[in-house]
């Protein structure tokens, strides 16, 4: 009986398919795409339940800082969203320049502080809250309405090379 079962139980080999899966480097492109995926799954037209907009989940006041007032047009313009993200990174890097020099390489609450982690945390909570966190040695904590914390962003987005972002207090889109 075993011979009959074995005869009917042929194994069919399928052709092995290779997939071209993109691998994000630990550079600025990798940084912004990882952050965008966390914020909106990388979708340009997303508006969350609190009204944050686009691929990087901008608040209206942040957009107004860059003279962007038409949120519907913003949601339909990927190029503008990318320019706004870069401009915000430049402004945050300028605001946090002293803290970047002072804290990168240190460990706070078990998290190694990196420049990219600081910039991601500033995107989450604003540069002022990141300053408070760093300068209080991790005692001043912040979490957004969905529970994401400065600490989680410092950790998740650490180690990206964002040295090509030039600090600019007056960055525009």
pLDDT of 20 reads: 62
The low-confidence residues of the chain, meaning pLDDT below 50, are 1-3, 5-6
Output the pTM of the full model: 0.85
For tokens 């990219």, the residue is 116
Euclidean distance between CA atoms 58 and 69, whole angstroms: 12
Tell me if 54 sits within 8 A of 123, measured CB to CB. no
Distances (CA, A) of 169 to 33, 73, 89, 95: 24, 25, 10, 7
What is the per-residue pLDDT across 153-167, written as a single tens digit (0 to 9) for each? 999 999 999 999 999
């Amino acid at each position: 009986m075993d011979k009959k079962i074995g005869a009917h139980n042929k194994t069919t080999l399928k052709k092995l398919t290779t997939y071209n899966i993109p691998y994000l480097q630990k550079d600025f492109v990798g940084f912004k795409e990882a952050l965008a995926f966390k914020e909106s799954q990388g979708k340009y037209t997303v508006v969350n339940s609190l009204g944050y907009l686009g691929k990087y989940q901008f608040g209206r006041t942040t957009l107004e800082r860059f003279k962007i007032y038409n949120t519907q047009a913003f949601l339909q313009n990927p190029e503008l969203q990318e320019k706004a993200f870069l401009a915000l990174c430049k402004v945050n890097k300028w605001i946090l320049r002293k803290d970047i020099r002072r804290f990168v390489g240190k460990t706070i609450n078990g998290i190694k502080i990196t420049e990219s982690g600081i910039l991601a945390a500033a995107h989450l909570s604003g540069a002022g809250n990141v300053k408070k966190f760093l300068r209080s040695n991790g005692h001043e904590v912040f979490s957004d309405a969905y529970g994401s914390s400065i600490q989680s962003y410092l950790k998740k987005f650490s180690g990206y090379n964002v040295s090509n972002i030039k600090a600019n207090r007056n960055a525009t889109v």
